[in-house]
Chain A
Amino acid sequence: MINMSEKVIFPSKEWVAKFKDVVNSSKDYEEAAKTWEGDFIFEIIPDGTRNLSEKHQLYCDLWHGKCRDAFLVSTEQPAPEKVEYIYSGKYNNWLALFDGKVGPLKGIMQRKFTVTCSPGAMARLMKALKAAQELVKCTTMVENVEYI
């Protein structure tokens, strides 16, 4: 069981574990993503903001309203060979997203984030905007976060 009141650093293994827990307890996400099938890499690129010095990748396997697996990609724990979506942005933009100042879609239009996926996968993503929004909401619900 994850202790939500414990301070976690973003990005870290502990943050990912808390995030997974938040997603799996969100009724709103579960409802919005009940037919969703597809895994993501969320990529955080250092841009001189605060003290993040390395690129971080967070792998998330999302399936029928639940997060089946989530971890910080590393040499010991690499991402699967084929990941459907890569959602990537600079650290400062991630912080703005967590703060609710940038939406998941508007952020892409503003070139704050990029999505890399196949055309078929893009069609499915565009029909699942509510799920994307709820997933972003989950990131803002991770408590006691200290950003690097």
Chain B
Amino acid sequence: MWDFTSPRKVIFGEDALEYLSELCFENVFIVTDPTIKTMHLEKILAQLGDSKVTVFDKVSGEPSLDTVKDGACSMIEAKPDVIIALGGGSVLDSAKGMFPIYSQPDILIDGLSPFEVLDMRKKTNCILINIPTTSGTGADVTWAIVLTDLSEGTPRKISLANRELVADITILDPVLTKTMTPRLIAGTGMDAMCHAIDGYLSTWRNDFSDALSLHAFKLLWNNLPIAFEQAKVGEVDFAIREKLHNSATMAGWGFGNSQIILSHSLAHTIGAVFKIPHSVCIGAMCWYSLMFNQNYESERICDLAKLVGYTGTAGEIVTNFVSSFKELLLNLELPLSLLEMKVTEEEFQSNLEDLIAFAENDSGTLSNPRSIAHDDFITIFKCVFEGKDIDF
């Protein structure tokens, strides 16, 4: 038995935000961050009529468990009948983390079980609407939340999951992506592309996730470089932005109903330990993950490559695709190594043991198509540090 979980509704395209005015809420709780509050909050408020609105805008990048607990306290006080999460993955994950605490204040959020019946909606009469402002994480449709746990010395990203965390409605309006910088477009777009690849290669893949992962990958591969180049010269083509925004959510559906792999184990680990934003490091980690897995999943990597026009023998296709992937990262001006992400040799060496322990226990390692031994991780991390090819 397997589940395919999805929001009840996905509203997308031009003017999608206007859908909010068709709904009727008494008491709205908006979760956002300070940047998005300045850039886009007005657009949401304009749709809410005379509903009572409380805004929690204290979400920071790569949020911690403490941010979630803090927001949940305000939520409990406000007693909303709708939570609107407006922002990137950090905001969406925070709101998804606050909702279970709102429904059950004594819940141990870091002990959230994927199998527990939470009955959040029944207990609160509240629903969750996600409105992503980056075209990246797909967190608007996944049932996982990634939070940083600061309680045990070295910061560590933990993934919590429960199918009730999936939003009721997700709204994809490309107008919100207009303000994204070229760097944010590149990084979050590569996060989405990595989700499509992970969802397709993971050992938890299935017919439903395959369909979404493949199409999302094709849209991202074809549109991300164009959106990036356009953004660099201040151009916004909403047709292209819409493709990216939709495909990020589709990739979220794909990997959210399959799993992540090595790429995300590495990105979660270095992201938390060295405080590198997910969007900055995930593209490169996807490249290392492709190199490590290429001889074990060549058929599936070929499927992806053929979709975007690669031809030749299976061996040629995989080799050319993996090297084009590196080129894509370079074209998008993303860093390839920890050195380029400004991590020093000393920082790397002194944290290596924790890096390996955290990566070994990340769920992406468990569902990677090739099993990863302790010594493999030592070599992989050394390559990641220096920016070297993985050739074993």
Contact = CB atoms under 8 A, between A and B. Distances in A.
Interface of A: 28, 31-32, 103, 105-106, 108-111, 114-115, 118-123, 126-131, 133
B108 A123 contact: yes
A123 B160 CA distance: 9
Contacts of A115: 113, 115
Contacts of B115: 108, 114-115
B158 interface: yes
15 contacts: A32-B360, A105-B363, A105-B366, A106-B366, A106-B367, A110-B2, A114-B115, A118-B111, A119-B108, A120-B111, A122-B113, A123-B108, A123-B111, A126-B160, A129-B363
A72 to B, nearest CB: 26
Interface size class of B (residues with CB under 8 A): 20 to 34
A46 to B, nearest CB: 20
A119 to B, nearest CB: 3
Contacts of B113: 115, 119, 122
Contacts of A111: 1
Interface in B187-238: 203-204
A93 to B, nearest CB: 11
A67 B362 CA distance: 24
Nearest to A27: B374
B114 interface: yes
Interface string B103-134: 00001101111111000000000000000000
Contacts of B362: 129
Given A126-B160, A128-B361, 13 more contacts: A28-B374, A31-B374, A103-B367, A110-B2, A115-B115, A119-B112, A119-B113, A122-B112, A123-B108, A123-B111, A129-B361, A129-B365, A130-B361
Contact of A126 (B158, B204, B367): B158
A51 B366 CA distance: 32
Contacts of A110: 1-2
Interface in B73-127: 107-108, 110-116
Interface in B139-174: 156, 158-160
Interface in B248-277: none
A105 to B, nearest CB: 6
